[in-house]
Every structure is written in structure tokens, then in C-alpha cells.
């Protein structure tokens, strides 16, 4: 059977969307990628995210109400930029364990070749191959070794030949493009022939008997509309946005759309040492500890990782006026922290929904997840104490950046939104290839698995 190139529209230029677009373009298809974001060049990143006056206000475009539990709400701003949340990606790239696929309709072996391809495309290498591992990371590694915590230097997506070892590597686009960036890859693809419609939204679709014939695209700057004929549509807008795109634009109405949200419970243990142990010019995300990843029953708890301390200039913005800021500046190099990422199990009632034009999140912490976090934080505290910390502080949080599960994979529209291939039920040519298809959140940053699964789905189109 002869090959026939298809017209393919990819909705969303985050990590999954850009990798899907690259894969399909390489396979010979005509690809258009559509995203409402601003196209950040390296120059714009340096202009907006400079080291002295960090601010997200210039790119804040989406208000998200997040209900952490029944009683508490808070507002959170997310940036609107080509590359999506992966532009804020923290570089640590660990695949899911095979046990974490027990609730998926695929196995890890189905993803293994795509993990390998994602690692190549994202320039992911074991951190020890980069050299220059910091003295603090080595200290934490040896402490973990003595405590039998199975430390290892994890894979990382940073080109250290251009890395400045700055203190803004957490949740900030890299001004020097040392960290893997979907927007950089998309710029390369654009020069090769992929059509990029930035500052644009899909606002309607023409359908016939479950098949999408074309989509209407509106430019957000000039409000001009255009129609794109398409053979296939792949939605890669992320777990918070994808449910509303397939529901409002493509008229899907399955029970599981927007449900089963997973966010990852987080925690930090900050250690205070008697003398300086690092510098704001040191990169400090080298080592993970895996001995407590599973409990005695083989259930996933999560990971403990060395974490970069937030840059001093950002912390000072939040310190109360009564606190002696000069003292904090002096002790900053005596602080370090370990991050705990907890696998939060899928719960149907945890969901995203729309209210007054906003994306809202209803999320209730599960008792067993809180217990897992408490256990991992206790182990992290032991590691930091063993490393020489005089005192520790424990903090709790949740990552909206790790959202997944809102369009899960399954057999039919009664138990899921897409099949194992990523195709939306009852739609001939509509696919989802982002983290919303996940059936579990895993106990690590999901970025590498997002990338691998996106490449797997693209390979079937």
C-alpha cells in the first residue's frame, strides 16, 4: 500500500505537541501546530527573565482557581508561551517503572523504544556523564549510601557546555537555552517547513459522522479567522485544557472527561548547615534516592531528589518586612533542600471544570497519599541530617505543573476518553497525546513519559 501524506493539525505547542509534530513531519505529513502562546526567542527569554528582576506578570494570561481541598482555594497564574509548561521544565528526566503501568492498557515495554527516542531528541544523559557534579551533591549521595537509600545520579536534559550554573533553574525558562526547550525545537522545525500558528486558538470544527473535516482558527491579535482542512487532529493542550477542547470544540461528552485528575503531592526538607555548602552559582539537581520508591506491597510511594534552592532574589520578595533580609542573604549558601514527589492515586472526583470562563480544579487529598508524603519527608530529613545539617524545615505543596489523567486511556467511552492508541472514542480522526491520557501519575516528574507516550501515539497515526 502506497504512502499518502496527511494534513495534520496539532493543538498545543508544549512538550507533547512539538514532539508529535516533529515525528509526523519526519514521517512525511503536512503538519500545522496551533497554540495561543507567545513565541519566546532566546532574546525574549533573556529580556523578560533576567536575573535581577524576575517576574511572571508579563506573561500571566490564565487565571486558574485551584481547590486544594474542600475548604481552601487559591489563585494561581500560569504563563502563556510557546513551549507551555515545559519551558519551565526542571530537566530531571526519569522514566516510569514497569509497575506504574499496572492500570494502563499498555506496558512499559510498549514505551521503551520511545523513551530512547525521547532521550535522544531531548539531549538527556545520565548526570554523571556531564561531569562537574557539585560537592554538595556528592555529600548527599554519600549520606544516602550510608543510610542505604540507593542514591544515583539521575538523567538530566541540560547542555552544560552552555549552562551558566545559575540559581534560577527552578520553574524559569533558561535565558541561555542550556535546558531542553520545546520552543527551540519548534523554531528549528519551522525553518524546515512545519506551519506554526502562534497567538491562535481553534474556535470551531466542522464534523460529519464523527469525522473532523476542518477547524476554524482565530488569531488572538487581529481576530482574523481562517479555516484549515485536516485529515487528523491531535490535541496536546495539557491535562487542564484538553478536556474542554474536546468537549467544547469537538462535541465529546464522555463521563470521564475532566475527571481522575492527578497533581502530585510535593514536599521539601530544607537543611541549615553550620557553614556554606553551596553557592548561588552552583547547579544543585544531581542526585535521587530510590530505596523507598515502593512500599512493602509494591505500591508506588514516590521519589526523593536533590532540589535547587529557589534563587535568593525571588525568596526575598516573599520574606515579611520584619525579617532581617541581610541575615537571610548571609545564610543562603548554608541552605539546601530535598524534594519529595508523591504518586497521587487516581480518584474520579478529583477533576477540572469550567466556571465563569475560568478553568477550576477540585482536588481532595487522599489519606494514603498524605501518609506516603509524610513517610518520604521523614526519610529525606534523615538524609539531610546525615549530610551534616544542624536543623531542618519541612514544607508541603502540590504541583499544578504535573497535572495528568483527565482524559484517561481505556476500552470504551464508559471507562475512559481515549483508547490505547490515543484515539478519542467515537471520533474517527481525533487524538490526544498529552499527559491527560495517563492512568497513573508515577512518582517522578512525568515529562519523559509524556514525551515517550506522545511519540508512541504519533507513530500510530
Domains: count for the chain: 1
Distance, CA of 317 to CA of 208 (rounded, Å)? 54
Over residues 383-412, the pLDDT tens digits come to: 999 999 999 989 887 667 789 999 999 999
Burial 289-326 (b: 16+ CB within 10 A, else e): bbebbbeeeeebbbbbbbbbbbbeeebeeeeeeeeeee
Report if residue 55 sits inside a domain. yes
Report if residue 76 sits inside a domain. yes
Cβ-based neighbours of 71, under 8 Å, separated by 6 or more? none
User: Is 160:188 a contact under the CB 8 Å cutoff?
Assistant: no
H-only helix segments in 231-272: 242-248
β-partners of residue 292 are: none
Distance, CA of 89 to CA of 445 (rounded, Å)? 9
Q: How far is CA 92 from CA 57, 152, 170, 179, 367, in A?
A: 26, 12, 11, 10, 28
User: Is 416:83 a contact under the CB 8 Å cutoff?
Assistant: no
Region 55-69 average pLDDT: 31
Distance, CA of 100 to CA of 452 (rounded, Å)? 15
Q: In this structure, are strands 151-153 and 351-355 parallel, antiparallel, or unpaired?
A: unpaired
Determine the pLDDT at residue 153. 93
**Does position 50 have pLDDT exceeding 80, yes or no?**
no
Cβ-based neighbours of 209, under 8 Å, separated by 6 or more? none
Determine the pLDDT at residue 228. 97
Distance, CA of 359 to CA of 80 (rounded, Å)? 14
Over residues 241-282, the pLDDT tens digits come to: 999 999 999 999 999 999 999 999 999 999 999 999 987 667
Question: For residue 440, what is the domain's CATH number?
Answer: 3.50.50.60
Region 99-118 average pLDDT: 96
Torsion angle, alpha carbons of 246, 252, 254, 258, to 10 = 20
Domain range for 332: 7-458
**308: helix, coil or strand?**
coil
Region 18-42 average pLDDT: 92
The helix (run of H) or strand (run of E) holding residue 226 is strand 225-229
Distance, CA of 424 to CA of 407 (rounded, Å)? 9
Q: DSSP readout, 129-183?
A: HH----HHHHHHHHHHHHTT--EEE-EE-B-TTT----S--SSS--TT--B--HH
Report if residue 1 sits inside a domain. no
- Closest C-alpha among 75, 79, 82, 81 to residue 356: 75
Determine the pLDDT at residue 72. 30
Report if residue 404 sits inside a domain. yes
Determine the pLDDT at residue 77. 37
Query: What mean pLDDT, rounded, does the chain reach?
Result: 86
Report if residue 213 sits inside a domain. yes
Least-confidence region, from 11-15, 81-85, 222-226, 263-267: 81-85
β-partners of residue 158 are: 179
Region 350-361 average pLDDT: 89
Question: pTM of the prediction?
Answer: 0.90
60 C-beta neighbours (distance < 10 Å), count: 13
Report if residue 2 sits inside a domain. no
Torsion angle, alpha carbons of 89, 90, 93, 98, to 10 = -80
Over residues 424-453, the pLDDT tens digits come to: 999 999 999 999 999 999 999 999 999 999
**344: helix, coil or strand?**
coil
- Radius of gyration of the chain from its Cα atoms, rounded to whole angstroms: 22
Q: How far is CA 80 from the centre of its chain?
A: 14
- Closest C-alpha among 93, 441, 101, 440 to residue 266: 441
User: Is 51:166 a contact under the CB 8 Å cutoff?
Assistant: yes
Report if residue 306 sits inside a domain. yes
Amino acid at each position: 500500500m502506497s504512502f499518502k501524506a496527511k494534513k495534520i493539525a496539532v493543538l498545543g505547542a508544549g512538550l507533547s505537541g512539538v514532539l508529535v509534530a516533529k515525528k509526523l513531519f519526519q514521517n512525511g505529513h503536512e503538519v500545522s501546530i496551533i497554540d495561543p502562546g507567545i513565541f519566546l526567542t532566546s532574546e525574549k527569554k533573556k529580556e523578560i527573565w533576567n536575573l535581577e528582576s524576575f517576574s511572571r506578570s508579563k506573561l500571566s494570561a490564565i487565571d486558574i482557581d485551584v481547590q486544594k481541598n474542600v475548604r481552601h482555594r487559591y489563585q494561581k497564574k500560569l504563563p502563556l508561551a510557546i513551549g507551555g509548561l515545559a519551558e519551565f521544565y526542571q530537566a530531571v528526566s526519569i522514566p516510569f517503572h514497569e509497575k506504574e503501568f499496572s492500570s494502563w492498557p499498555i506496558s512499559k515495554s510498549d514505551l521503551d523504544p520511545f523513551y530512547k527516542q525521547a532521550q535522544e531528541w531531548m539531549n538527556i544523559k545520565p548526570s554523571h556523564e556531564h561531569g562537574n557534579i557539585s560537592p554538595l551533591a556528592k555529600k548527599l549521595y554519600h549520606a544516602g549510601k550510608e543510610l542505604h537509600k540507593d542514591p544515583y545520579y539521575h538523567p538530566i536534559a541540560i547542555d552544560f557546555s552552555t549552562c551558566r550554573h545559575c540559581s534560577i533553574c527552578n520553574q524559569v525558562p533558561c535565558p541561555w537555552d542550556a535546558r531542553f526547550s520545546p520552543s527551540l525545537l519548534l523554531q528549528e522545525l519551522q525553518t524546515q517547513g512545519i506551519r506554526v500558528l502562534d497567538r491562535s486558538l481553534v474556535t470551531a470544527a466542522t464534523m460529519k459522522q464523527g469525522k473532523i473535516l476542518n477547524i476554524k482558527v482565530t488569531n488572538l491579535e487581529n481576530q482574523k479567522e481562517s479555516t484549515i482542512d485536516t485529515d487528523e487532529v491531535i490535541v496536546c493542550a495539557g491535562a487542564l485544557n484538553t478536556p474542554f477542547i474536546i468537549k467544547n470544540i469537538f462535541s465529546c461528552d464522555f463521563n470521564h472527561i475532566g475527571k481522575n485528575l492527578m497533581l502530585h503531592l510535593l514536599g521539601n526538607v530544607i537543611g541549615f548547615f553550620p557553614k556554606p555548602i553551596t553557592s548561588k552559582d552552583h547547579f544543585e539537581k544531581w542526585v535521587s534516592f530510590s530505596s523507598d520508591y515502593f512500599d512493602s506491597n509494591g505500591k508506588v510511594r514516590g521519589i526523593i531528589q536533590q532540589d535547587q534552592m529557589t534563587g535568593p532574589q525571588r525568596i526575598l520578595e516573599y520574606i515579611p518586612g520584619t525579617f532581617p533580609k541581610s541575615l537571610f542573604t548571609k545564610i543562603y549558601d548554608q541552605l539546601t533542600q530535598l524534594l519529595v514527589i508523591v504518586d497521587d492515586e487516581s480518584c474520579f472526583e478529583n477533576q477540572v471544570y469550567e466556571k465563569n470562563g475560568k478553568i477550576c480544579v477540585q482536588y481532595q487529598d487522599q489519606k494514603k497519599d498524605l501518609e506516603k508524603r509524610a513517610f518520604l519527608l521523614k526519610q529525606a530529613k534523615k538524609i539531610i541530617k546525615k549530610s551534616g545539617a544542624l536543623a531542618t524545615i519541612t514544607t508541603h505543596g502540590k504541583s499544578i505543573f504535573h497535572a495528568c489523567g483527565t482524559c484517561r486511556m481505556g476500552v470504551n467511552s464508559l471507562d475512559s476518553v481515549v483508547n490505547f492508541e490515543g484515539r478519542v472514542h467515537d471520533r474517527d480522526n481525533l487524538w490526544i497525546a498529552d499527559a491527560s491520557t495517563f492512568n497513573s501519575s508515577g512518582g517522578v516528574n512525568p515529562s519523559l513519559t509524556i514525551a515517550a507516550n506522545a511519540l508512541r501515539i504519533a507513530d500510530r497515526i
